[in-house]
Every structure is written in C-alpha cells, then in structure tokens.
C-alpha cells in the first residue's frame, strides 16, 4: 500500500503533519491502513519533513519526485523504486483520510485480486440527494453488468430523462446513481504502463485521470458500498471534525 503525502496545500498547508490526538495526520492514516491487513505500507512524499515524521513514528517513507502530474504517477515511481513485480497489487490511500475504513481498503484490494481481467479496482456508493447528483464536484460512475466502470463524469449520469422533465429536486425511486469513492487498487503491470499512455480527451475535459485507463481499454472493477465513507481533510473545518472523531487516547470513536 502507498500513501501519497505532499506538504503543499492551498487551503491547509502542511496538513499531513497536522496534529490529531498527539500524532501527525499521515501517521493516523498509516495506522488505519495497516489495520486493512496490507503486507507493506509506504508513504510517498516530496518533503523531508513528512519523511522525518513518518520514520520517527516507526513507519516507512520514500522520497519521490515533486513534478508528478498525478497521484498515479507517484505510485508508479514507488513501485519502481521498490522493485515490485507485475502481479503485485498496490492500494493508493490518500494521506488526508485518517478516518478511512480499513475494511473498505481490504475489499477494494480483494476485488482486484479476484478479477484477473481488471487493471484497477475502486469503489462507489449510492447517491440519494438531487443536490449531490447535480453537483459537478461530485464524481459519478456508471457501471456495466459485471460491476466494472463504464464511465466516470462530473456530469449527472445516468440521466433520468422523463423524471427530470417533471422535477429535478428529488431523485426518482430506484435511480442507479453512484458516487465514486477515490480509493484505488492497481496491478503493478498497469502502473508501469500508465506513464506511457497519452492523456485521453475525456480525461482532459473532465479533469479525471481514471478516464485515461478506460480510454486505453483497461478495465476498472468497482466495489459498491451502501454508505459513504467519512470525508477526508481539505479545510481547517475538516481538520477539527476529524480531531473530534478521536478520543484523547488517540482512538477513533
């Protein structure tokens, strides 16, 4: 497993090192990741302060280039540095998600392991509110009959043509709208190829890097969850919410 962690953040500079019940946030993410059963957990960073903090708490970190175009490229560099084989499965957990569910991480990794035709696995959950469905900041995914991604979009997909003629403030009953959860598992063989793939036109317009894989014919297996996982940390308000989720002893409530 690899946890990308960059120091720079427009809204919350240095957030991987933000204190949560006595430990840096990135360390809290590592602790949750290890509870998933992962054999190895590495932090990939371009900042020595993050590396020092991770290693001071007894965990593993690698320095990576600062000019990667995407998180997937950073994961690929880690796989290359560590010499992982093509058949290895790598899970990417973001360094600002200290409340990530270890069971969900394990489910996504297992889904990829059990589907040899897929290069990537990820997750989704049902969208139940119209406001969320029509929000372009919410990434939607449409699935095929085998539980693989057909398309990802910021647009409202699928579109309930007849129902939305009548009203758009509620979603029709049984509507199969799914929100993408940004948790990924990759085969190392795919990571080795990713950097050589030209960007897809859809990727550039939607600003969604996973569309590059679909454009070039790679299958993405999608685990369907019933509920949304806890949100990550993007703002000072998010950080306070996460801090309240931990008790003084550092246990997640």
pLDDT for residue 249: 65
CA dihedral 71→201→233→219, nearest 10 degrees, is: -70
Question: Which residues does residue 148 pair with via DSSP β-bridges, in sequence order?
Answer: 221
Backbone torsions φ then ψ of 98, nearest 5 degrees? -70, -15
Tokens coding 4: 């990308």
* Averages of pLDDT over each 10 residues, the chain, 253 residues: 84 88 94 93 94 96 87 89 94 92 95 96 97 96 96 97 94 96 95 91 94 96 92 89 82 69
Domains and CATH numbers, the chain: 1-86 (3.90.550.10), 101-229 (3.90.550.10)
The three-point CA angle 70-73-77 to 5° equals 145
pLDDT for residue 234: 85
CA nearest to 3, candidates 125, 181, 32: 32
């Amino acid at each position: 497993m690899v946890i990308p962690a960059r120091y720079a953040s427009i809204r919350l500079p240095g957030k991987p090192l933000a204190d949560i019940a006595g430990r840096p946030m990135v360390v809290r993410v590592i602790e949750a990741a290890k509870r998933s059963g992962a054999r190895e957990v590495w932090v990939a960073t371009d900042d020595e302060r993050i590396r020092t903090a991770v290693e001071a708490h007894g965990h593993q970190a690698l320095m990576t280039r600062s000019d990667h175009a995407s998180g997937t490229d950073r994961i690929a560099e880690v796989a290359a540095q560590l010499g992982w084989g093509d058949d290895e499965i790598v899970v990417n957990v973001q360094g600002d998600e200290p409340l990530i569910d270890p069971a969900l991480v394990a489910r996504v990794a297992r889904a990829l392991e059990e589907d040899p035709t897929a290069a990537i696995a990820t997750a989704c959950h049902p969208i139940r509110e119209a406001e969320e469905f029509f929000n372009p900041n919410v990434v939607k995914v449409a699935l095929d009959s085998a539980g693989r991604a057909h398309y990802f979009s910021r647009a409202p997909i699928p579109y309930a043509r007849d129902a939305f003629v009548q009203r758009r403030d509620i979603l029709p009953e049984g509507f199969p709208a799914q929100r993408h959860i940004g948790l990924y598992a990759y085969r190392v063989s795919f990571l080795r190829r990713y950097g050589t793939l030209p960007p897809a036109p859809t990727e550039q317009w939607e600003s969604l890097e996973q569309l590059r894989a679909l454009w070039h014919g790679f299958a993405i297996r999608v685990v369907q969850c019933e509920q949304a996982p806890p949100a990550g940390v993007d703002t000072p308000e998010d950080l306070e919410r996460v801090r309240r989720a931990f008790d003084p002893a550092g246990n997640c409530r």
